[in-house]
Amino acid sequence: MPIDWDQATFLSSRPPFAPARWLDPVSPCYIFQGRYRLPPPFQILSKGTMTEHLTRLDNGFRIVVDPVPHVAIVTAGVWVGVGARNEPEDRNGLSHFLEHLLFKGTATKTAFEVAAEIENRGGSIDAYTDYESTAYYVQTGARHWPVALRLLAEVLTESVFPEEEVERDRSVVLQEIDQYADEPEAVLGDALHATLYPDQPLGRPILGTAAHVASFTRQHLLDHLARYYRPERMVLVVSGRVDPGEVTALGTQLFEGQPNGPVPILQPARYGGGHRAIARDIEQAHHALAFNGLSLDHPELPALRHLANILGGGMTSRLFQEIRERRGLAYDVHADLDSYTDTGFILFEAATAPEQLDEMAAILLRELEQAQRDGFTAEELARSREQLRFALGSAQDSTFGRAQRLARDILIRDHIRSIDDIEAEIDGVTLDGLAQVAGRILSGPPTSCVVGPPPARPRRLNRRRSFL
């Protein structure tokens, strides 16, 4: 019999005589018609109707509430539609620097008190900066969600940026930059962006450079906050065991007074392409090959996701099978997608011994050319559908994953897609559509980067696709 969750009694922890398959001793559960019930992770997601509540305030601020009654952990976050891509060249890294400083003191709290407000209740507070967005979020027990909302509002609207904290965190960010410089994958990622999008914000590192970070002042932070943190480019998302009406009421009270204003327009991206090699005294050569891709709202993006997944998305993918399983040339080989509001790229990445780099690069190119020439099988597409559907469901198994999906939908599309809609996009890709996208994307001009021992460069493989 289907469970009517509205009629079920909620228990905050597992009863002592619960079945052994309930491995987590603190998992919430329900009593329905005299029996204990532990809902599977995708129970709510399997419904055709949407459970999220979206409210738009008069100033443009948006509030999304995602009630998940069987989950005892709440994620509350504010996502802002601004990131490294919004920065002029002399302010590269300022979005990330601001992300650090927003936790370093308000009109009524020190940096320690900001952290203690959440950690005293067993929760955590964190943030991240991307090219087109910045996120600030709190995770805590369900009964503490009002504290989380009030703290988020306070750090976003009442931060004072004490000079001593600015100087201290400047040193922290410089250490972070040095740490990334020691990681070949991070160096490769920054080099790839710089080659894909030369001389434009999308090609600059999110952390900025040491010289830029050293130049930032408190006034720079205040100006950036006032210019870009406008309510019409912000969204509050709360996911977990909460009452939508209560969350919306408190969110409205906290954010309705924020003034709106003009939203600066992004500089359109220009694909560059080319080849770059960076010498590092390390054991392996790290290699990335990318092609111009598709924007976040492009109708063929689902097909491109299948392309990346079939070629390099798992142990059964073509590149994993050929490069690792059959030839043992790399421990990890994979494909990935990065998409933005008006551009994107598909990426193939692996690391191998320097003396095997040419062989691995040649195999990679051969596999891509075979994909263009011969297309894909029905079995590969069917497997990819199942993998992408599982990845979608797995991401929704946490309140953070759910909140992040909803926030991105609002920032990108200004509406929420249902799980059924996303699954329909996954299932709607045909073999012909996949072949057309593969033929067009993979025949475009490549971008390649290598980070490794000198000479960190594969030889030219052919005239059409030379790496360096």
Residues with catalytic function: 99
- Helix (H) and strand (E) counts in the chain: 15, 14
Q: Is 335 exposed, middle or buried (0-12, 13-18, 19+ CB in 10 A)?
A: buried
CA distances from 233 to 154, 195, 410 (A): 18, 29, 9
CA–CA gap between residue 418 and residue 400 (Å, rounded): 17
Query: Hey, which residues does 65 pair with through a beta bridge?
Result: 53, 238
The burial of 404, by beta-carbon neighbours within 10 Å (0-12 exposed, 13-18 middle, 19 or more buried), is given as buried
Q: Rounded to an integer, what distance in angstroms lies between the CA atom of residue 370 and that of residue 375?
A: 7
Half-sphere exposure of 279 (CA within 13 A, CB side): 2
The DSSP call for residue 324 is I
Please tell me whether residue 456 adopts helix, strand or coil conformation. Answer: coil
- 390: tokens are 């599982």
Report d(CA 129, CA 133) in Å as an integer.
Answer: 6
Nearest to 284 by CA among 336, 353, 356, 376: 353
Rounded Cα gap, residues 41 and 459, in angstroms: 49
Give the integer Cα–Cα distance in Å for 307 and 304: 5
Query: Radius of gyration over alpha carbons of the chain, in Å?
Result: 24
